[in-house]
């Protein structure tokens, strides 16, 4: 895991932050640790959600996200598979247009 860190600021409902603070107190951690763990776990789960993976793939195919962003979201192996598929789709499209 990278030791580089980026400061992030966001607004959240008071109740949600109060719950994070309470959990941090129970665990003997600070709020940041709890929020980072929650975000990490959410992103891990999201990478294994088929519907969301399809949305991520579509964003990549439409050039809305880069390959590096794709890899960060779905992992290196899945990203490589999606890159090959995108190349095949692009080649098929070119062939169809050339034949038309």
pLDDT tens digits, 1-35:
557 899 999 999 999 999 999 999 999 999 999 99
CA angle, 14 then 19 then 21, to 5°: 95
5 part of a folded domain:
no
Query: How many domains are there within the chain?
Result: 2
86 part of a folded domain:
yes
Please give the Cα distance from 48 to 42 (Å, whole number).
10
Q: Is 96 helix (H, G, I), strand (E, B) or coil?
A: helix
Does the reported pTM lie above 0.85? no
pLDDT tens digits, 39-93:
999 988 887 889 999 999 999 999 999 999 999 999 999 999 999 999 888 776 6
Instruction: Give the HSE-up count for residue 57: Cα atoms under 13 Å, Cβ half-sphere.
Output: 19
Structural domain including 92 reads 50-99
2 part of a folded domain:
no
Please give the Cα distance from 61 to 67 (Å, whole number).
10
Do residues 40 and 67 share a domain?
A: no
Please name which of 71, 91, 89 lies closest in space to residue 80, comparing C-alpha atoms: 71
Question: How would you classify residue 25: left for phi > 0, otherwise alpha for psi between -120 and 50, otherwise beta?
Answer: alpha
């Amino acid at each position: 895991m990278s030791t580089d860190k980026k400061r992030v600021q966001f607004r959240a409902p008071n109740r949600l932050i109060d719950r994070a603070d309470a959990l941090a107190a129970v665990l003997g951690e600070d709020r940041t640790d709890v929020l980072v763990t929650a975000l990490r776990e959410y992103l891990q789960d999201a990478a294994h959600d088929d519907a969301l993976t399809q949305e991520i793939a579509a964003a990549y195919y439409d050039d809305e996200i880069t390959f590096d962003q794709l890899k960060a979201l779905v992992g290196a192996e899945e990203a490589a598979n999606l890159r090959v598929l995108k190349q095949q789709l692009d080649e098929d499209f070119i062939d169809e247009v050339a034949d038309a």
